[in-house]
Chain A
């Protein structure tokens, strides 16, 4: 699973940091800092709950991303 924040939608509620302190801390302005984009299997449930709890749906948990060998972290996108 891969976590992302949509910084346009995020209003800095900080709910996610409470629900997933293992991966999310808040910056001095109250916006989430991810320790890692890739979510270890053991935390997938918590990550899903944190994403569902975000009031603006700014925290995105992408299941199509499976961690493991061969995962490309830095995909290069057109533009």
Chain B
């Protein structure tokens, strides 16, 4: 995995302190950015003015969320979401391993702004060395907020915000029904701000350099930079920092360009959508533009699928994984996702004798918007995009059986496999 930042208009921001020699310690971090200035409630106005949105997938305005939490009663809690449940994403891990103090600065700044005395930094509990290095990084600092590094189960839905909160409260790492949302009632019943670790890293820089600086990169309606993980059939797969609004094709170019003739791009990860490579190429990487193109920005993944792969088989494999990752709580998710996975597998591997397509079409609306969390909706969005982008393949598979592409080794990564 490469982590290269080549020159671009704004220059790297988050990744400016990245060194090949190893993780940036506190002195390195201060040499790069200076110490974190004293911040208070006013930081929320600056974040609002900066237009920072969440980098964990949903793109919710960070300032607005901070204001909701800050307006709640009593003491507050901040949770940094560093679980990076998306198997194809590596950006949060890069920040946490190489630039931990950027994330911790953001956590401390958010806590000061909303009035929190306790903060949690959540990563997967099987990442022993990451847990250890983060604990050491916290110990090297003098924050007034008490930061606890917490290991949470490495399941896909365990890093949904209400699941994190429930787990930190001593319960199962499973999503909870809302309302109440963590913003209203979270850890120990207190108003809780949950933010992705990249969001917090941007916050650390906004606290130093201000909103005008933040807006000097990206688009007026989608300001700043973001980390993207580019993978699949590209020459230099890895994490890159781009300005929001950078065309998808340029993100691929940053990763050395295509290594093979593409068929489609998976943009936004397993919560995202397939787009035809040609159509996706000029689309600006913003939530609004990708949504309009039938996709999603998600947590910023772009994966190029070569023409010789089978898009339907790749999707069937991911859908099976996601179906197995459900929290087992909601009927439509418990019964619907395995049924969708079976129908996808029929379509991809067995040939549905013309039935699999109809079966999928009947199942999708029975699953959509019927879970306590968005997990099922992510799955249906992925399937809908697959049968849309590979419509002709889907018809041929359904009637005549699988194509030659299914003999190719799967490209999309799943946990426990090497990228």
Residues of A in contact with B (beta carbons under 8 Å apart): 5-12, 27-31, 33, 76-79
Contact = CB atoms under 8 A, between A and B. Distances in A.
Given A7-B370, A78-B65, A79-B58, A31 B332 contact: yes
Contact of B177 (A6, A12, A76, A78): A6
B interface SS class: loop
5 contacts: A8-B372, A28-B335, A29-B336, A31-B335, A79-B181
Contact of B332 (A11, A27, A76, A77): A27
B259 interface: no
A30 to B, nearest CB: 7
Contacts of B331: 7, 10-12, 27, 29-31
B328 to A, nearest CB: 10
B372 A79 contact: no
B136 interface: no
Contact of B335 (A5, A29, A78): A29
Contacts of B183: 78-79
A78 B67 CA distance: 11
B366 interface: yes
A79 B332 contact: no
Contacts of A10: 330-331
Given A8-B176, A31-B331, A79 B60 contact: yes
Contacts of B122: none
Given A30-B331, A78-B60, A7 B371 contact: yes
A12 B335 CA distance: 12
Contacts of B64: 78
Which 4 residue pairs spanning A and B have beta carbons closest together? A7-B330, A31-B331, A29-B335, A78-B65
A31 B58 contact: no
Given A78-B60, A78-B64, A79-B58, A31 B370 contact: yes
Interface string B54-68: 000010100011001
A29 B161 CA distance: 28
Given A30-B331, A31-B331, A79 B177 contact: no
